[in-house]
Structure 1
Amino acid sequence: MTSPTILPAAPARAPAGRRNMTLLVQLRWIAVGGQLATIGIVSGPMGISLPGAPLLAAITVLIAINFASIALLRRGRAVTNAELTAVLLFDVAALGWQLHHSGGLGNPFASLFLLQVVIGAILLTPRSSWAIVVAALAALAALRADPTPLVLPPAYAADPMELYLQGSFVCFLLIAVLLVAFVTRISRNLRDSDAALAASRQRAAEEDHIVRMGLLASGAAHELGTPLSTLSVLIGDWKAAPRLAKDREMQEDLADMDAAVQRCKAIVSGILMSAGEARGEAPQLTTMRAAFNEIVSHTRAVRRPDTVEFNDRFGADVAIVSDPALRQVIGNVLDNAAEVSPDWTSFTTSRDGDMLVIEIADRGPGFTREMLENFGQPYRSTKGRPGGGLGLFLLVNVLRKLGGGASVSNRDEGGALVRIFLPISSLARDDGETA
């Protein structure tokens, strides 16, 4: 059973103006195709004479507007409300021009102005929407001034109302289909926007949580510095005391105590160093393989060395800038795996194109269904300790900052598997040097 992969932070969706302009371009291509088909059917099988030059000129203008809109979208900047209003006004003018040369208000397709009004009301600001309404009313008023009448063949001249009703039906069908397609697309865009906003709020909440934890951790690290230094001095004094110097068992215990204090001091130093950005405040130049070995060596130092299996399949080494935060969260995952599976833990590194892939496996109880479904959220832990479950949460957020991600699953043979992937470019030195 595998959880959905936690991907890098998704790039922001295109701004609403760009999405709306793209939608208008698509609708305009549909309009151009429909107008060409209508002209072909009316002047062909129906035998109604149409002024081809003015009608095709309007279609040419619509095509030019589409190409201009596409060029605007390719510039990559946001599309403003004024630009959306301008292209819709061109659409109103083109429709008015075509109707003027094909019967004026007597043309049943005059109802298409309503479609443009509805589109304007949905996409534009209230003031711009009313501007489209005024433009449509002005176009309708202009159609009363000497429009070019349609010359009907004898088959339709006897009952022109029948032809008008047929055209009205086709116009209604066209408006209904386009409105359904348009509103459905807008609704999907709104749902996507709401989902993106919810994800952004979730990320903001998680980052705020991380900031608060970082402040608490750095504060605790500062507070712990003094007592740890005091303990280190006292242990040194005890080791040099004449009465204890000859006690071999006590000297071994004091050496273990000193090693434990030094490790605590190293952890505190690491917290202080990585309390800022993901790269820390004191980056070090190293190689990918050296960083792997350091992580594994640290785990082997606190566990039995023969229980941590290291499979190095990365290939050619790469010079990188050491990332204290990344090293720490990966080490935490490896420590957690070794804690639930003290007899065997696997740390495998490989390369998939430009991605670093790390797999940490164990033979422990595996992840519960709840943890698989809520992977990456804080305080989700199988250990039942208050405040637990922060390791994977920190891992996901550090990887997200570096453009990577992670996934978790349960192994078929038992135990858990954490898979980490990270762009090598996010760690590699700028000069691209290969060690």
Structure 2
Amino acid sequence: MGTFSILNQSASGKNLQRLFLLRIIAIVSQIIIFWTVYSVIELELPWMPIILTISLLAVLNFFTWIRLRYAWLVTNPEFFVQLLIDVASLTALLYFSGGSTNPFISLYLLPLTIAATVLPWHYTWTMAVITISCYTFLLFQFVPLPHDHLDDHSRHMFEFNLHVSGMWLTFVLSTLLITFFVVKMNASIRDRDKELSRSREQALQNEQIIALGTLAAGAAHELGTPLSTMAIITGELQQESLENVEFQRSIRILRDQIALCKQTLTHLLADAGQARVEEGNGQPVDVFLQQVIDKWQLVRPSIRFTSRYDGMQPAPVIMNTRLLSQSILNLLNNAADASIRQVDITCRWDEKQLHLEILDDGPGLDAEAAEHAGEPFFTSKGPGQGFGIGLFLANTNIERFGGSVRLFNRPEGGACTHVILPVLQGTASTSL
């Protein structure tokens, strides 16, 4: 916990971090300015209360740094109190160094600008009233700057030059600090808008998934009866033409497909609402991938494919859930539909990530497919050949597991589906 990167990372926490940095700049600037006044200009000021004020501000800023190391939410009242500390210290320093005649009086605009940028309007108006009151107080109550060692002409020239120089320095400091804070605040606002946009997109995807889940539940109920009927009929057909090897092979494939459909429908409702990442089982990456490919081979027995595995042994563990395996199956089916001759599957992993590349030798992605791939109900297949939800569901589910899916054209032709998935800490000794 010794670096700034692990401090409070909420939006309000980042604002307090910036105020902490601005206060450091203010303390350093005050030390430099008063040291110049003491050693170069040689003005006699009440140095003891000035030093105590700067020291107290530094101590309070140190406690602010300690507070930032905790993940507690920075509330608006707390941030407002932090600004009041700066106003109080500035008022004290101005009181002991000329009051309203001090050219640094315009620094009151800094906490007011910060309050207007960060806090709700009632805090801003309260800060405006407080700073105006402090300025008004310093019009009448302050320790004047000493000029006893100068004649009238020299005193007027000195006051004029000092005031002009102070105004210039105040403008430079105010410009730099306000620019720094406003730029950082604009960056925070843009980050917040991006986060809100991602949240809205995620909420929309969740609504679409819920709608698809409702339709799937109804479809599962409706398909149960016709699948049972087909299972009975294919069982009876299997008893016929026993000498016809090709016929028996086709019936066996058909019965396997029907059994797989029934098994999928059986688990559909049982798994609904329980397919969370934490409820899956850890399994070696190579074993998990081989099981998915074996299931895909059962579903698509006519597809020619090659598979290659490359990674550390023993293989790391990946979270094996039905959602994840089904998502990869959807991607494999999309590649099989697009492929002309065969599908090439390449699996690579290390101690952090699994990289799965599914290569087809089809025509590749056209401009429309490249732009809209992964959107719900978009499909580049012909009428009746796809619903446009396979890639959408696969991408959504894989992102829920902390992974990503990227679909792009290959230079040599065809398309590549690149899946990246995180693996769990630790390895398993089971391998292919």
TM-score range, shorter chain: 0.7 to 0.9
Q: Percent identity?
A: 31
- Residue 375 of structure 1 and its aligned partner are, at CA, apart by 4.8
Q: Could you tell me which residue of structure 2 aligns to residue 300 of structure 1? A: 297
- CA distance in 2 between partners of 1:365 and 1:65 (Å): 67
Alpha-carbon distance change, 413 to 251 in structure 1, aligned in 2, over 3 angstroms = closer
- Residue 193 of structure 1 and its aligned partner are, at CA, apart by 1.2
Q: Could you tell me which residue of structure 1 aligns to residue 212 of structure 2? A: 213
Task: Check if 1:227 corresponds to 2:226.
Answer: yes
Q: Could you tell me which residue of structure 2 aligns to residue 32 of structure 1? A: 27
Q: Could you tell me which residue of structure 2 aligns to residue 423 of structure 1? A: 422
State whether residues 409 and 417 of structure 1, in contact with CA within 8 Å, keep that contact through their aligned partners in structure 2: yes
- CA distance in 2 between partners of 1:233 and 1:257 (Å): 12
Secondary structure of 2:388 counterpart: coil
Task: Check if 1:333 corresponds to 2:331.
Answer: yes
State whether residues 21 and 79 of structure 1, in contact with CA within 8 Å, keep that contact through their aligned partners in structure 2: yes
Q: Could you tell me which residue of structure 1 aligns to residue 188 of structure 2? A: 189
Secondary structure of 1:356 counterpart: strand
Task: Check if 1:110 corresponds to 2:105.
Answer: yes
What does residue range 132-171 of structure 1 map to in structure 2 within 5 Å?
A: 132-144=127-139, 146-152=141-147, 154=150, 156-159=154-157, 160-171=159-170
Query: What amino acid does structure 1 have at the position aligned with 2:379?
Result: S
Alpha-carbon distance change, 117 to 156 in structure 1, aligned in 2, over 3 angstroms = farther
Secondary structure of 2:306 counterpart: strand
- Unaligned stretches of 5+ residues in structure 1: 1-12
Q: Could you tell me which residue of structure 2 aligns to residue 10 of structure 1? A: none
Q: Could you tell me which residue of structure 1 aligns to residue 379 of structure 2? A: 381
- Residue 147 of structure 1 and its aligned partner are, at CA, apart by 1.9
- CA distance in 1 between partners of 2:289 and 2:134 (Å): 72
Structure 1 residue aligned with 2:39, among 44, 51, 56? 44
* Per-residue Cα deviation, 1:304-332 (whole angstroms, up to 9, x for no partner): 67821110113323455531111111011
- CA distance in 1 between partners of 2:37 and 2:382 (Å): 76
Secondary structure of 1:378 counterpart: coil
- Residue 91 of structure 1 and its aligned partner are, at CA, apart by 0.6
Structure 1 residue aligned with 2:266, among 266, 269, 286? 269
Alpha-carbon distance change, 233 to 206 in structure 1, aligned in 2, over 3 angstroms = same
Task: Check if 1:403 corresponds to 2:398.
Answer: no
Task: Check if 1:351 corresponds to 2:343.
Answer: no
* Per-residue Cα deviation, 1:276-327 (whole angstroms, up to 9, x for no partner): 3434898566543222112222333344678211101133234555311111
Query: What amino acid does structure 2 have at the position aligned with 1:297?
Result: D
Higher deviation after alignment, 95-104 or 348-357: 348-357
Alpha-carbon distance change, 257 to 350 in structure 1, aligned in 2, over 3 angstroms = closer
Query: What amino acid does structure 1 have at the position aligned with 2:315?
Result: D
What does residue range 16-31 of structure 1 map to in structure 2 within 5 Å?
A: 16-31=11-26
Secondary structure of 2:142 counterpart: coil
Scaled by the length of structure 1, the TM-score of the pair is: 0.85
- Unaligned stretches of 5+ residues in structure 2: 1-7
- CA distance in 1 between partners of 2:304 and 2:399 (Å): 30
- CA distance in 2 between partners of 1:388 and 1:24 (Å): 53
- CA distance in 2 between partners of 1:209 and 1:188 (Å): 32
State whether residues 410 and 417 of structure 1, in contact with CA within 8 Å, keep that contact through their aligned partners in structure 2: yes
Structure 1 residue aligned with 2:286, among 282, 289, 294? 289
Task: Check if 1:313 corresponds to 2:310.
Answer: yes
Structure 2 residue aligned with 1:131, among 122, 126, 133? 126
- Residue 107 of structure 1 and its aligned partner are, at CA, apart by 0.8
RMSD: 2.9
Higher deviation after alignment, 94-103 or 58-67: 58-67
Secondary structure of 2:419 counterpart: strand
Scaled by the length of structure 2, the TM-score of the pair is: 0.86
Higher deviation after alignment, 106-115 or 180-189: 180-189
- Residue 228 of structure 1 and its aligned partner are, at CA, apart by 0.6
State whether residues 218 and 275 of structure 1, in contact with CA within 8 Å, keep that contact through their aligned partners in structure 2: no
Q: Could you tell me which residue of structure 1 aligns to residue 3 of structure 2? A: none
Q: Could you tell me which residue of structure 2 aligns to residue 362 of structure 1? A: 360
Q: Could you tell me which residue of structure 2 aligns to residue 62 of structure 1? A: 57
- Residue 226 of structure 1 and its aligned partner are, at CA, apart by 1.8
Query: What amino acid does structure 2 have at the position aligned with 1:25?
Result: F
Alpha-carbon distance change, 278 to 401 in structure 1, aligned in 2, over 3 angstroms = farther
- Residue 146 of structure 1 and its aligned partner are, at CA, apart by 4.3
The alignment of Structure 1 onto Structure 2 pairs a total of residues equal to: 417
Q: Could you tell me which residue of structure 1 aligns to residue 171 of structure 2? A: 172
